Amino acid sequence: MVHHCFNNVYSNLPLTFLPPIRAMKMLQDPVVCPTNDKTVAVEVVRLAPHPKYKQRVRKKKKFQAHDPDNKFKVDDYVQFEKSRPISKTKTFIAIPIAARNVPKPKEVVPPELGLPLES
């Protein structure tokens, strides 16, 4: 007996196909701890309403991400992407991104421009 519950977009695909998970596909947050070999802990901070008082409260959660080259240090910003399970707790892969809040190099201005100063 064939069930016809897949009569939508996925009807012509094999039954082993699952649609991609859209929630928490990619996140960008700082590394909290380079825990073990090839693993980093990344802390995600989000704002959620308090159940009783409805004020927005910070909620923190740590995720383990795969770092194959051991190149991330504490406070490095990484983008981590959902992937297949790598171990019991690791389902993300850490990807390097440009650092945040890095001061831009100042332009060197020559002290004398050869122009008289006006007062």
Contact 60, 43 (CB under 8 A): yes
- Strand-pairing partners, residue 39, are 66
The ranges assigned to domains in the chain are 19-63
Question: What one-letter code names the amino acid at 70?
Answer: N
Please report the pLDDT score of residue 6 as a whole number. Answer: 47
Tokens for 9?
């977009």
Please report the pLDDT score of residue 27 as a whole number. Answer: 81
Tokens for 19?
């649609």
- Strand-pairing partners, residue 47, are 58
Nearest to 80 by CA among 17, 32, 19, 18: 32
How much is the pTM?
Answer: 0.61
Question: What one-letter code names the amino acid at 33?
Answer: C
Nearby residues of 70 by Cβ (< 8 Å), 6 or more positions away:
34, 37, 38
Tokens for 31?
């590394």
Main-chain phi, psi angles of 12, to 5 degrees = -90, 0
Contact 31, 74 (CB under 8 A): yes
Q: What is the mean pLDDT of each run of 10 residues along the chain (119 residues)?
A: 52 52 72 88 92 94 91 89 90 83 66 64
